[in-house]
């Protein structure tokens, strides 16, 4: 390796150490599509392998969209094995999944891809999943959030480490990656969809960023610096708000309260965060609230006791001392719980859908089926299985015949506000399981069934 390539590699290693992305002896799953960024990531991590005693698993996910992917699977496998890395490939029909879940192809593909990475990481007991985002990707993310009207959290962009996800290449620009590819002689694949203006991300990369560069040639570096500053400020404000909330919160019968004097004594930024925390904790949800909702509640702080505001399933009111959040009283129409994004079941592992947790495993012996344990024929479960909320057209097969899910929920008198977010295990619009409530006859084991897929459901308590 020549001096210039070695210098680029050292920058990435310094970034890894600064952000403690992995440590000696770790197992890493590497998301590798064969493109310039991910092939660079694979090559660089393989060069760290001996010094850090790493176990590396390269994973290629075929989305069922591009014919070229058939060739790319073999190429990535060859590149992984050349570097003494393990290799895993998975196939998912993303267009079919997008149609079944009502998501865009882009969103469905991303969610399916990360579900597969996490499932493989769990199975391999990996410490992290390495993805190949670099500084140009970060700039595009910040712009995308800015265009949506983001707050500080959105401007923070992608973190070097977020849960199991690590991003070592945030130390580099796309130009750095391209230079490294040339210097070490890598031969990456090119995804032709990257040049299609159909996707907003591509339009930002191909049109908006070059246009902004005419006004500020350093826009890429400046957007990355903005991300770093916003991330540090966001973490600081969240820490301060969290400490203050834990010290001052008062538990009510149906909600929570904070002293009006305590809230108004804080800077506006902390006031808004405390209000959002009260909302989330009272609702028992990570769902955020709009800026307009937050400001409407802040207006109550200056009003006498007895003033109230209702919305989002909560009643917010003032007493002489406190700002109180409670669940809306009977007679106020309940607000449906926020529906989490659909989750693709990519194989054995643990999957989360809001508070619902589903553990999936295969077995040659079937356990006793209960309301919290579903057993199905492993060969009859065809097509992508998805953990999601209710959709129009859903049906369930029962001993008395197939009926619409809507009719079934009416008959079981499931409260309307709980229906949209009730966790369902589905094949297309066929409901296999209303988790914890009812199993359908679809893919039920037969006398000759020898391979079983087992789903175990539990519901997490709120923190």
Please report, for the domain that includes residue 444, its CATH number.
3.50.40.10
| Residue 226 belongs to some domain of the structure | no
| Residue 332 belongs to some domain of the structure | no
Nearest to 29 by CA among 113, 140, 145, 92: 113
Cα–Cα dist 92/113, whole Å: 9
Say if residue 43 carries a ligand binding annotation: no
Say if residue 163 carries a ligand binding annotation: no
**Greatest pairwise CA separation for the chain in angstroms:** 73
CATH number at residue 269: 3.30.465.60
| Residue 285 belongs to some domain of the structure | yes
| Residue 22 belongs to some domain of the structure | yes
In three-state secondary structure terms, 259 is: strand
Q: Give φ, ψ of 346 to 5 degrees.
A: -95, 10
User: Does one domain contain both 357 and 315?
Assistant: no
With residue 397 as reference, give the H or E element that holds it. Answer: strand 395-398
Is-contact 71 162, C-beta < 8 A? no
User: Does one domain contain both 31 and 98?
Assistant: yes
**DSSP assignment string, 133-192:** --HHHHHHHHHHHHHTT--HHHHT---SEETTEE-GGGGS-HHHHHHHHHHHT------G
Output the pLDDT for position 337.
62
Is-contact 425 374, C-beta < 8 A? yes
User: Does one domain contain both 348 and 313?
Assistant: no
- pLDDT tens-digit profile, the chain (463 residues): 899 999 999 999 999 999 999 999 999 999 999 999 999 999 999 999 999 999 999 999 998 887 788 888 999 999 999 999 999 999 988 888 877 776 677 778 888 899 999 999 999 999 999 999 999 999 999 999 998 888 898 899 999 999 999 999 999 999 999 999 999 999 998 776 666 665 677 889 989 999 999 999 999 999 999 999 999 999 999 999 999 999 999 998 889 999 999 999 999 999 999 999 999 899 887 677 788 889 999 999 998 888 888 887 888 999 989 999 998 865 345 455 678 889 989 888 889 888 888 988 888 888 888 778 889 988 888 778 999 999 888 999 988 889 999 888 888 777 777 788 889 999 888 999 998 888 898 888 888 888 889 998 887 644 3
Nearest to 441 by CA among 389, 368, 374, 384: 374
Q: For the chain, what is the domain count? A: 3
User: Does one domain contain both 156 and 97?
Assistant: yes
| Residue 234 belongs to some domain of the structure | no
Q: What number of other Cβ atoms are within 10 A of residue 349's Cβ?
A: 18
Task: Domain of residue 303: give its range.
Answer: 249-327
Helices (H), 284-431: 291-300, 405-411, 416-419
User: Does one domain contain both 32 and 75?
Assistant: yes
Q: Which two tokens stand for residue 246?
A: 């834990």
Nearest to 441 by CA among 382, 387, 392, 377: 377
Query: CB under 8 Å to 124, separation ≥6 — which residues?
Result: 27, 29, 55, 57
Output the pLDDT for position 329.
67
Q: Which two tokens stand for residue 5?
A: 């390539």
Say if residue 33 carries a ligand binding annotation: yes
Q: Are strands 55-62 and 27-31 parallel, antiparallel or unpaired?
A: parallel
User: Does one domain contain both 66 and 8?
Assistant: yes
User: Does one domain contain both 359 and 286?
Assistant: no
User: Does one domain contain both 255 and 216?
Assistant: no
Q: Which value, in Å, is the radius of gyration of the alpha carbons in the chain?
A: 25
User: Does one domain contain both 106 and 39?
Assistant: yes
Cα–Cα dist 13/23, whole Å: 11
| Residue 133 belongs to some domain of the structure | yes
Is-contact 347 92, C-beta < 8 A? no
- DSSP letter (8 states) at residue 370: B
| Residue 240 belongs to some domain of the structure | no
Say if residue 185 carries a ligand binding annotation: no
Nearest to 180 by CA among 71, 87, 53, 47: 47
**DSSP assignment string, 319-337:** -SSEEEEEEPPTTSPPPPP
| Residue 70 belongs to some domain of the structure | yes
CATH number at residue 138: 3.40.50.620
Half-sphere exposure of 262 (CA within 13 A, CB side): 17
With residue 263 as reference, give the H or E element that holds it. Answer: helix 260-264
Output the pLDDT for position 373.
86
Output the pLDDT for position 463.
33
């Amino acid at each position: 390796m020549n001096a210039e390539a070695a210098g680029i590699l050292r920058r990435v290693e310094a970034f890894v150490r600064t952000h403690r992305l992995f440590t000696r002896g770790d197992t890493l799953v590497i998301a590798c599509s064969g493109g310039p960024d991910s092939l660079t990531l694979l090559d660089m991590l393989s060069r760290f392998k001996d010094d850090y005693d790493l176990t590396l698993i390269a994973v290629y996910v075929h989305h069922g969209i591009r014919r070229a992917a058939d060739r790319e699977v073999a190429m990535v496998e060859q590149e992984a094995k050349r570097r003494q890395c393990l290799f895993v490939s998975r196939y998912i029909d993303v267009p079919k999944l997008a149609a079944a879940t009502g998501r865009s192809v882009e969103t469905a593909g991303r969610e399916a891809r990360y579900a597969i990475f996490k499932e493989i990481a769990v199975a391999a007991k990996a410490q992290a999943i390495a993805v190949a985002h670099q500084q140009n990707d970060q700039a595009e993310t910040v712009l995308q959030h800015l265009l949506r009207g983001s707050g500080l959290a959105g401007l923070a962009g992608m973190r070097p480490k977020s849960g199991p996800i690590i991003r070592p290449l945030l130390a580099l620009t796309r130009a750095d990656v391209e230079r490294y590819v040339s210097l070490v002689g890598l031969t990456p694949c090119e995804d032709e969809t990257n040049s299609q203006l159909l996707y907003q991300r591509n339009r930002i990369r191909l049109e908006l960023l070059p246009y902004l560069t005419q006004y500020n040639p350093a826009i890429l570096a400046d957007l990355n610096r903005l991300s770093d500053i916003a991330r540090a400020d966001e973490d600081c404000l969240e820490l301060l708000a969290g400490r203050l909330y834990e010290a001052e919160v008062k538990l009510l019968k149906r909600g929570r309260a904070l002293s009006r004097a305590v809230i108004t004594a804080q800077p506006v930024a902390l006031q808004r965060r405390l209000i959002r925390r009260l909302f989330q904790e009272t609702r028992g949800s990570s769902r955020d609230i709009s800026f307009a909702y937050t400001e409407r509640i802040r207006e109550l702080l200056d009003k006498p006791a007895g003033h109230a505001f209702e919305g989002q399933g909560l009643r917010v009111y003032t007493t002489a001392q406190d700002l109180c959040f409670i669940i809306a009283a009977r007679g106020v129409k309940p607000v449906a719980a926020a529906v989490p994004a659909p989750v693709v079941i990519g194989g054995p592992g643990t999957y989360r859908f809001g508070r619902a947790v589903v553990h999936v495993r295969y077995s040659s012996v079937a356990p006793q089926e209960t309301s919290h344990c579903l057993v199905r024929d492993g060969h009859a479960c065809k097509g992508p299985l998805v953990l999601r909320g209710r959709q129009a057209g859903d049906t369930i097969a029962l001993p008395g015949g197939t009926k619409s899910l809507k009719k079934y929920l009416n008959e079981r008198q499931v409260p309307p506000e709980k229906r949209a977010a009730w966790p369902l295990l589905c094949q297309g619009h066929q409901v296999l399981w209303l988790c914890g409530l009812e199993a359908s006859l679809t893919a039920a084991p037969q006398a000759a069934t020898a391979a079983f897929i087992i789903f175990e459901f539990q519901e997490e308590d709120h923190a």
